[in-house]
Chain A
Amino acid sequence: MNTDSNVYTIVYSIVLVVIVAVLLAVVNQGLKARQEANKLLDTQKQMLVALNQDIDNCDDPAALYDSLVKDTVMCGESPVIVFEVEGQTKYMLRLHGQGLWGGIGGYMALNDDCNTVFGINFNHESETPGLGGEIVTEKFRSQFFNKHIKDAQGNLRSIAVLKEGKQAPEGQEQVDAWAGATITSTGVSDMLAANMEEYRAFLMEKTEQCCAQADKKCCTGQACCTADGGCKDGQCCDQCSCAKDGQCCANCSCQDCQCQTKCKED
């Protein structure tokens, strides 16, 4: 048979392409259910890491996830997943941004004040191993724990990722960039800023709601104060201790507040 004739070549290529297409379609459809289950489990595991759960020694991460997750609320297009860890409410925000070679993402868990970072987890598509790829490590992640995404006045500020020695603008908290991975670190910083903005409505409004539920006043979007204490410059006055004559005790600057509490030292 002449394998070089035009008819043979055309028929051969058509048959080959059809066989390959059918084969790929069958493989894809046959494995789809398993792949999606894997993907879902992976997302759940990432959130569990962001909640500081030990998933390496956990036999059934899916069951652990189900036991912690409570609710999902939407903030515009972005989901906020509500968890309850050891009796405390945590809000999970989804992060997505751009690194050096491809997308980066992650999950950030906030305490119920919508300000303090409880845990965070990063993932990336294709950052350089040993450099940008190190953002997934415990060493990088743990820097974020207990940082605040709002300043003392309650403005949303995000958290800056900066080279050692550089100083974030007043009021913004910062963590160290990964040495040698400048663009990835900047990517993380930009991602946090952009995603905080995306969740702004939720983060600001939720604080008001929390305070109202606890029968407290919201101090410009940040802290909850007892209703009789009042606010001054984003600080709760009831957190200060003042002497009887209205003067402040050491390390306290709320002269103008109507202080209700007294100095313990006096």
Chain B
Amino acid sequence: MALSKKTKEAFLGPLNINNPVLVQILGICSALAVTVQLKPALVMGISVTIIVALSNVVISLMRKSIPMRIRIIVQLVVVAALVTIVSEILKAFAYDVAMQLSVYIGLIITNCILMGRLEAFAMTNNPLDSLMDGLGNGFGYAWILVVVAFVRELLGSGKLLGYQIIPDSWYVANGGFYENCGMMLMPAMALILVGCIIWAHRSINDKETK
């Protein structure tokens, strides 16, 4: 099946040129909260991707019937209902995952990317394009989280996905020379890292466009 150029653009754009975190500066709050370790960042990235894609499709299907004056409320109701249903299903069929996600599930509802995509894209586009847009934005958000969490967990705790990466013998406590960077565990470092990624992203893309 050949996808139209617009459909492809809906998926590929948010991964780089129109990235929700780097360019639109959305979803920063959760980028601070869940990036101390890699695992919650991965799970949060996947959850947001699923919810954005689903709610985009639902809103896109309803778009012609929604009264303009209450459209934000309608979007919110759809998102909240979807998140609640996903959370209930997880609690019933994947209890361990649901427990790990407990706080983050609630955070998904407040993620600005969701409302942003519903309002800017799903309200005016067909369901297929909206699905691709949702997936693209979800993955675009997820890869930033993963990069930030990778750096923070590696430098902050010397681990990746909970496994020790920096050899124990390197640590000062064991007579070595190395010490974990405690700063990396602070929320502020997530902002600084996101800032560095934005910097790199802008300088590369500016050259391309010029």
Q: Residue A256 at the B interface, CB < 8 A?
A: no
Could you tell me the distance between the alpha carbons of A127 and B103 in the complex, rounded to whole angstroms? 10
Instruction: Tell me if B103 and A31 are in contact (CB < 8 A).
Output: no
| Least CB separation from A19: chain B residue | B81
A139 / chain B contacts, CB cutoff of 8 Å: none
- Name A21's closest neighbour in chain B (CB-CB): B81
Whether B210 sits at the interface, judged by CB under 8 Å, is no
Cα of A128 to Cα of B40 in the assembled complex, Å: 11
A31: chain B residues within 8 A (beta carbon): 88-89, 91-92
Cα distance, A186 to B49, chains bound together (Å)? 37
Please tell me if B24 contacts chain A, counting CB pairs below 8 Å.
no
A180 within 8 A of B: yes
Quick check: is B137 within 8 A (CB to CB) of the other chain? no
Q: CA–CA, A31 to B93, complex, Å?
A: 9
Interface residues contributed by chain A, number (CB under 8 Å): 28
Which residues 121-135 in A have Cβ within 8 Å of B in the complex?
125-126, 128-131
A35:B91 contact, CB within 8 angstroms: yes
Q: Which residues of B contact A8 (CB under 8 A)?
A: 67
Kindly provide the distance from the CB of A58 to the nearest chain B CB, expressed in whole angstroms: 15
| Residue B36 lies at the interface, judged by CB distance under 8 Å to chain A | yes
**Chain A residue with the shortest CB-CB distance to B182:** A180
Beta-carbon contacts of A149-168 to B below 8 Å, as 1s and 0s?
Answer: 00000000000000000000
Binds B, one of A9-17, A81-89, A140-148, A247-255: A9-17
Beta-carbon contact of B92 and A3 below 8 Å: no
A74 within 8 A of B: no
**Across the interface, which residues of B come within 8 angstroms of A126, CB to CB?**
102-103
Across the interface, do B37 and A129 meet the contact criterion of CB distance under 8 Å? yes
Q: What residues on B are CB-neighbors of A34 within 8 Å?
A: 92-93
Residue from the list B36, B70, B73, B102 in contact with A125, Cβ < 8 A: B102
**A130 surroundings in chain B (CB, below 8 A):** 36-37, 153, 156-157, 185
A23-B85 in contact (CB<8A): yes
Name the A residues within 8 Å of B185 (CB-CB). Answer: 128, 130-131, 180
**Which of B65, B88, B153, B182: most chain A CB closer than 10 A?**
B88
Taking a contact as CB atoms under 8 Å apart, the answer to whether A35 and B88 are in contact is yes
Query: Which residues from chain B contact A38 at a C-beta distance below 8 Å?
Result: 91-92, 95
- A129-B85 in contact (CB<8A): no
Query: Shortest Cβ distance from A233 into chain B, in angstroms?
Result: 40
- Bound Cα distance A129, B68 (Å): 42
For residue B72, CB closer than 8 A to chain A, the reply is: no
> What residues of chain A lie closer than 8 Å to B64, measured between beta carbons?
3
* Closest Cβ–Cβ distance, residue B149 to chain A (whole Å): 10
CA distance in complex: A27, B93 (Å)? 13
Residue of B nearest to A134 (CB): B157
Q: With a CB–CB cut-off of 8 A, which chain A residues contact B92?
A: 31, 34-35, 38
Most buried by B among A12, A130, A180: A130
Mask, A15-46, CB within 8 Å of B = 1, is 01100100110011001001100110110000
* Residue B66 at the chain A interface, CB threshold 8 Å: yes
Let me know if A3 and B37 touch, CB within 8 A: no
Contacts of B88 in A (CB 8 A): 27-28, 31, 35
Interface string of B77-90 (1 = CB under 8 A from A): 11001001100110
Q: How far is the CA of A130 from the CA of B36 in the complex (A)?
A: 7
Q: How far is the CA of A8 from the CA of B67 in the complex (A)?
A: 8
14 additional contacts, CB 8 Å, given A13-B70, A27-B88? A3-B66, A3-B67, A4-B69, A12-B70, A12-B74, A16-B74, A16-B77, A20-B78, A20-B81, A27-B85, A35-B88, A39-B95, A42-B95, A130-B185
Offer 14 A-B interface pairs, CB within 8 angstroms, sorted by A: A3-B65, A9-B70, A12-B70, A31-B89, A34-B92, A34-B93, A35-B88, A38-B91, A38-B95, A41-B95, A42-B99, A125-B102, A128-B185, A130-B36
B: residues with CB less than 8 A from A are: 36-37, 40, 64-70, 73-74, 77-78, 81, 84-85, 88-89, 91-93, 95, 99, 102-103, 153, 156-157, 182, 185
